[in-house]
Amino acid sequence: MKYSVNIETVYQELPFAERFAAAKRDGFDFVEIWDWESKDAEELAGLCREHGVEISCMGGDGPISLCDPANGEAYLAYLRRSLAMAKQLGCKLLAVHSNELMPEPHPYAADLFLQYSDEEKTSAMCRTLRAIAPEAEAAGVTLCLEALNVEVEHVGNFLKYTKDAAEIIRAVNSPNVKILYDAYHMYLNEGKIIETIRKYQDLIGCIHIADAPGRGEPGTGCINYRAVLEELSRLSYEGMVAFELFPRTDSATAVRAINAVRAGL
């Protein structure tokens, strides 16, 4: 397994440019970021070189909903820009979602959900991902489709369950379109973390970790992440495991908890 830390959520006590060094100091060779549009590509590349880290994953979609049939061309245009940025930075994973990600609480457009059936929205997602898949393959970048919880942060999000993400991934049928399995989100929506990982292991391209409730570091909620990592090891999972969490007290305490779980293997 490879481990990454999301420096948008961890190390918030530090200026963004200093978080790369902090991650490396704490034993991470990979970092995650969210949006790339608000950042300078040359600066990001320079920080990675300076501190010996790689960007493992970043957001691939912007203010456009993948599940909206009317947005296919606009979504493709944005995703092509994301692929170009990922290739420039050597980032191998792009996170994509059914709906645009908006500030909390999510005011998802009710008319989108009334105007189109679930089948139409699923078909739109498959159609767009199938169209971009050859370009992702050529760029050496994997698109990771992430379902989000609708219990706390993302009420109204269309893609809620791993089984539905898997249905889309299988329909697209590309080695460069996978599932981003977020254990925090899926614990809230469907539970059965280990059983789900076993069932869909061949479709998973990245795993996100945060405890629940609260989205803090391991040990602050009720998910047994030592058991989850042990199962991933048993399954010979070789993908990325990213700690995308909000420290309950401070980043130093959160990193100690993260490293304690990693050492448990």
**pLDDT at position 154:** 87
Q: Is 38 exposed, middle or buried (0-12, 13-18, 19+ CB in 10 A)?
A: exposed
Residue pair 194/228 in contact by the 8 Å Cβ criterion: yes
Q: Are 95 and 57 in contact (CB under 8 A)?
A: yes
pLDDT of 63 reads 86
Question: Cα separation of 138 and 79, whole Å?
Answer: 14
With H, G, I as helix, E, B as strand and everything else as coil, classify residue 182: strand
Residue 217 is classified by DSSP as S
Q: What pTM was estimated for this model as a whole?
A: 0.95
- What span, in angstroms and rounded, lies between the C-alpha atoms of 158 and 148? 8
| Amino acid 265: pLDDT | 56
Domain enclosing residue 93, as ranges: 2-263
Question: CATH code at 32?
Answer: 3.20.20.150
- How high is the pLDDT of residue 115? 83
Query: Which residue shows structure tokens 């994509």?
Result: 96
251: Cβ contacts below 8 Å, ≥ 6 apart: 10, 11, 12, 13, 14, 22
Per-residue tokens: 140: 């050496």
Q: Cis peptide leading into 103, omega within 30 of 0?
A: no
Between CA 28 and CA 36 the distance in angstroms is 20
Q: How many domains does the chain have?
A: 1
Q: Are 172 and 129 in contact (CB under 8 A)?
A: yes
7 burial level (CB within 10 Å; 0-12, 13-18, 19+)? buried
- For residue 102, the model assigns a pLDDT of 66
Helix (H, G, I), strand (E, B) or coil at 183: helix
Going residue by residue through the chain (265 aa), what tens digit of pLDDT does each one get?
Answer: 999 999 999 999 999 999 999 999 999 999 999 999 999 999 999 999 999 999 999 999 988 899 999 999 999 999 999 999 999 999 999 999 999 886 555 555 556 667 899 999 999 999 999 999 999 999 999 999 999 999 998 888 999 999 999 999 999 999 999 999 999 999 999 999 999 999 999 999 999 999 999 999 999 999 999 999 999 999 999 999 999 999 999 999 999 999 999 988 5
**Beta-sheet pairing, 177-182 with 142-146:** parallel
